Structure 1
């Protein structure tokens, strides 16, 4: 008997699948073909490994008692890079690595665009120290792949701080700040706030965390969404480049411009229509998918996303890990004898 509620599951599945759908629509520039598979980008691939890393970090903490969760998530990104045959990546063990079930998914070994900041940081093999990372990228991957830290706000670490630490394993302070804000928006949506209220709260809640995006950095996006919704020129002004802060502001504007669950498809097509809209679409998909639940996603397109099944399994397993602890612990027996094999706790 699982402790995961139907509402929690609908929110998590909507968030994860919404990001994948937004990523795929963004990759197509908002011009979705009538048939065929919709490919995600490296942003969607890395988001999958974030979830796997969060699960494995919790398992390690439960069984070993000592764990640095962002470091375990960074280890997940090295498995992605190894599967992609990216040179200069440290092997964590000679045999049976990369391990875990995600390493068996063929499409995750296929190149789907680049992630230069992430790859450069992983190749550097520098020792990650919180607040002292040597990299400075402000790119949107630091945001999009870290959003799911907000889904475990009831069980795990403070979502904003956790997301910032995940982003900081390969990106600089501005991207980490955007990740903190974005994951906190998700966490507030999980607590049944609408996106507008979730954003307002996130700005205040993240003030002790952020170092670059101080004050009320999303106020212009909120104001524009309320007063001038659905205008491509406004979205282009809010998201003028591929920085994490731009993707976040653009996603807030899109979510406020299309607040109804029946408008989710239109929201993602609109997000992807501007020059730097692909990361906006992915972030908006996560926000709106979490807000409206998985049943609001348009079946005819989400069913064509190449990582849809993988993303759905990961969303379910993320909640199952935190709510039910299938691998057991020193205080309880395992309920799934294969869980550790699927998610080795290291």
Structure 2
């Protein structure tokens, strides 16, 4: 007779698995971008520097939490507007049109410290970590709530910075495209952001192996296959042609895994669609838990290794969890603690709403100060 499972233990285990995978997604994207920038050969000692995609992804994650907080306390929220505010805080910290940012967001609240929230106090987020020209150009145009600032860019940052949106659940997948559209007007870039969010959702929710000896490589490829199948097939955002390209990348990974020529064919440039195709191919070429570092080093060989390895790390981290990431490298990453904190806070917001709501008192009196709902 099978022993009955303790419901409380099952909830705790489920929560631990979810948190590990959310941590894996955020930490994986950061480590991937860093290894990609180093072409797979980072320095042997010393801190590993974050890239600009990782900085922006931090503010996406923070913006998602703040949008949820606002929705619960105000009853209404436009998440893209809250995330745009997050990107403007990043820009202000970077010294990009800081005066214009302050006039746009804080001129009517003279008594408020701005930029606000705990993330604004992280020194590494105020340091230049590479170029994000389309994002910077768009944010530099910020004036009023109704201004259109997006450029026609198809650049990879439309995708890499929006990867954390997948954590919020399938209902937010379309929001990934809207977050990308804040600065990148190209429809293919926006579509790639949506597709990445769907794939990552399926990686985050993929079933675990029944025993440690089960082939975990099947889980990765099955999750990616299920994600592709769930994408739009030509209706709305995401065309049938884009769907077929993703399916082809997955077939290449099965039939011709880890070939540099295939990687260069799928990801020839620094665009959002190339980052997604290359990251998908690299992740599915090295699908097993113990292959995660090898996958990142392979992805780093793409023409734009930063973005491809960033996507690869997010996909595999979401499947296998944070514990699968290489400790010797991860422990040296300058934003590892920041990303780990954001991941844990995302989990807490999704599972337990620490600040409560308009009608229910929260259990954490400092949550609103950490994540003001605006």
TM range (shorter): over 0.9
Native 8 Å contact 2:150 2:182 kept in 1 = no
Shift of 1:28: 1.1
Residue ranges of structure 1 left out of the alignment (5+ in a row): none
Distance 1:222 1:17 in 2: 23
Tell me the residue number matched to 1:163: 176
Q: Choose which of 155, 164, 175 in structure 2 pairs with 1:139.
A: 155
Partner of 2:334, secondary structure, is coil
Aligned counterparts of 1:90 and 1:127: Cα–Cα separation in 2: 10
Tell me which of 198, 206, 230 is aligned to 1:192. Answer: 206
Q: 1:122 to 1:293 in 2, by over 3 A?
A: same
Structure 2 runs not aligned, ≥5 long? 1-7, 208-218
State how far apart, in whole Å, the 1-side matches of 2:295 and 2:146 are.
38
Alignment of 1:78-227 (within 5 A): 78-87=88-97, 89-91=100-102, 92-94=105-107, 95-125=112-142, 134-153=150-169, 158-172=171-185, 173-192=187-206, 194-207=219-232, 208-211=235-238, 214-227=242-255
Q: CA RMSD in A?
A: 2.1
Aligned-partner Cα distance in 2 for 1:134–1:79: 17
TM-score (norm 1): 0.93
Q: TM-score, normalised by structure 2?
A: 0.87
Q: CA deviation at 1:127?
A: 6.4
Whole-angstrom CA distance in 2 between matches of 1:127 and 1:211: 30
TM-superposition CA deviations, 1:113-154 (whole Å, max 9, x none): 111111111111266789x8752211111111111111121x
Instruction: Supply the distance in 2 between the matched residues of 1:299 and 1:327 (Cα, whole angstroms).
Output: 33
Q: CA contact under 8 A between 2:249 and 2:281: conserved in structure 1?
A: yes
Contact 1:247 1:280 in 2 (8 A): yes
Deviation at 1:220, TM superposition (A): 2.1
Structure with max Cα Rg: 2
- Aligned CA distance change for structure 1 residues 216 and 127 (closer, same or farther; 3 Å): farther
Question: Equivalent residues in 2 for 1:1-346 (5 A)?
Answer: 5-87=15-97, 89-91=100-102, 92-94=105-107, 95-125=112-142, 134-153=150-169, 158-172=171-185, 173-192=187-206, 194-207=219-232, 208-211=235-238, 214-346=242-374
**Residues 288-336 of structure 1: CA distance to partner in whole angstroms, max 9, x if unpaired?**
0011111100100001111000000000001101211111113321110
Pairs aligned (count):
342
CA drift at 1:55 = 0.3
